[in-house]
């Protein structure tokens, strides 16, 4: 007997299968038939929800993005976590992990997917900047930061992080990356009017050392 499922439930079932298969076999190594067999549906059902395998990948990326933004918001509002640690956790929460995350990152960095890469950068920029600004505003109220432009400061910080520290945008040696990180934190402290050295904990999220 054919099982009929609600559209949203079926869509998520297809996404779950694609997530698992892309992680196991890679995007290029996964066929449409693999996905059909995994879910147990007809080709027409798949194309009702997704026009192509690329469309499926776009939907997976959107789902990852929405999940990551939700996690970042939860962290930012947890007043039990010290402000500097919250900043670090919010930034770290934006890293893709598990499932097909590695395949997604490889996929979006391909030259033919430049538009997709741009969409993700836009999502991060528009999503993470307001979240970071709320934390900075709290730091201002506690006397940790002194700036009249918390949102603009976070725009600058997120823009730099989202471009210079994107491995696909700027090629750097280990030494050059370490120098960029030190300069980034040095200038971030001054942008925010923070005490010198107060943001050095941020080095940990880049795998750097003081």
Instruction: Report the chain (210 residues): mean pLDDT per 10 consecutive residues.
Output: 70 91 83 93 92 88 84 92 87 65 67 69 85 95 95 90 72 86 90 88 56
User: Tokens 């059902």, residue?
Assistant: 45
Give burial (CB, 10 Å; 0-12/13-18/19+) of 64.
buried
Q: Is residue 153 within 8 Å of 187, Cβ to Cβ?
A: no
- Taking the C-alpha atoms of residue 127 and residue 201, their distance in angstroms, rounded to an integer, is 23
Q: What's residue 146's pLDDT?
A: 95
Longest dimension (CA), the chain: 69
Q: What's residue 133's pLDDT?
A: 95
Supply the pTM of this predicted model. 0.70
Q: How far is CA 107 from the centre of its chain?
A: 14
C-alpha dist (Å) from residue 26 to 100, 114, 119, 199, 203: 8, 19, 22, 38, 32
The alpha-carbon radius of gyration of the chain (Å, integer) is 20
Q: What's residue 209's pLDDT?
A: 43
* Structure tokens, 144: 């940790």
């Amino acid at each position: 007997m054919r099982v009929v499922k609600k559209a949203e439930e079926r869509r998520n079932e297809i996404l779950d299968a694609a997530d698992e298969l892309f992680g196991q076999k890679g995007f290029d190594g996964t066929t449409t038939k693999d996905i059909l067999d995994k879910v147990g549906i007809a080709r027409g059902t798949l194309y009702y929800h997704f026009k192509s395998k690329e469309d499926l990948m776009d939907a997976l990326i959107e789902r990852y993005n929405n999940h990551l933004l939700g996690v970042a918001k939860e962290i930012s509002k947890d007043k039990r976590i010290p402000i500097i640690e919250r900043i670090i956790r919010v930034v770290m929460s934006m890293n893709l992990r598990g499932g097909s995350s590695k395949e997604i990152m490889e996929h979006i960095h391909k030259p033919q997917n430049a538009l997709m890469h741009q969409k993700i950068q836009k999502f991060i920029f528009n999503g993470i900047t307001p979240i970071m600004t709320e934390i900075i505003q709290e730091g201002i109220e506690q006397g940790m930061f002194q700036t009249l432009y918390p949102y603009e400061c976070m725009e600058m910080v997120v823009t730099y992080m989202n471009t210079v520290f994107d491995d696909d945008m700027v090629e750097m040696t280990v030494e050059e990356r370490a120098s960029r990180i030190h300069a980034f934190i040095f200038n971030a402290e001054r942008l925010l009017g923070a005490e010198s050295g107060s943001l050095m904990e941020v080095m940990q999220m880049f795998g750097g050392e003081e």
